[in-house]
A and B are shown apart, each in its own frame.
Chain A
């Protein structure tokens, strides 16, 4: 028995839910799920993998055709255990702590440009970090008229948590100028860094 699921245009996580239902109701055979984005492709692949089924993925004109082969009845799997990502860009369990408004030491002029360049590159590379924590001079990156505001906003709109240290904003007297993300304190900063599987400090 073969079955086709056209999941193009479906919101996440519907392609996975439909594929899962079809797989569970089928004794043996092949299912082809058609999706139109990378995230859905990844999620459907994760589902098949968790059920220990073989897959074959073909791409054609921006659509992915995921063939899943079911040869014998398999156990069910719960969606919660799959860690389905619905963000535009999957995020990694990574926290980036930025403790100054310049990147590196040696030249302030160069450091300013490198920081702009770094934050731009961060918006271009997947997976995105989970959180960006701004501390000490780093909070200056998130205020009105900062040249990196645009990049931080882009990251935030893609699900990255951007948090500035409130005490630091106070110290520089720029609390009223914060233009992206939220305000946090040292307890939250410690928790976030301790709980992350990886922390990068700039």
Chain B
């Protein structure tokens, strides 16, 4: 079974998600746009999944650009279960 760990930013709105995406793209970060995981919210949202190494830098960037986020979450997949923890 593969155990994975991923970091996800959830935004205050889709417009902030779009702004966040283009900001990180311009800065050359490696990330994925993903549907907000169901474990965080059931509503249809866009989130950004990124590498743990970039956690602090990305958080700073969002703050500096005034992009409002709902939270940063660490999601661990253990076998078929997902464990969600808010870390920012």
Per-residue CB contact flags for chain A residues 135-147 toward chain B (1 = under 8 Å, else 0) read: 0000000000001
Chain B residues with a Cβ closer than 8 Å to the other chain, count: 13
Cα distance A150–B49 in the bound complex, in angstroms: 14
* A149 nearest CB across to chain B (Å): 11
Chain A residues with a Cβ closer than 8 Å to the other chain, count: 15
* A52 nearest CB across to chain B (Å): 29
Q: Are the CB atoms of B32 and A120 closer together than 8 Å?
A: yes
Contacts A62-B79, A113-B46; A120 near B35 (Cβ below 8 A): yes
Q: Are the CB atoms of A117 and B18 closer together than 8 Å?
A: no
Contacts A37-B1, A62-B1, A62-B79; A113 near B17 (Cβ below 8 A): yes
* B6 nearest CB across to chain A (Å): 11
Please name the residue on chain B nearest to A126 by beta carbon.
Answer: B80
Per-residue CB contact flags for chain B residues 18-45 toward chain A (1 = under 8 Å, else 0) read: 1001000000000011110000000000
A10 within 8 A of B: no
Q: Are the CB atoms of B18 and A109 closer together than 8 Å?
A: yes
Cα distance A129–B80 in the bound complex, in angstroms: 20
Q: Are the CB atoms of A117 and B21 closer together than 8 Å?
A: no
Which of A37, A110, A150 is close to B32, meaning CB atoms less than 8 Å apart?
A150
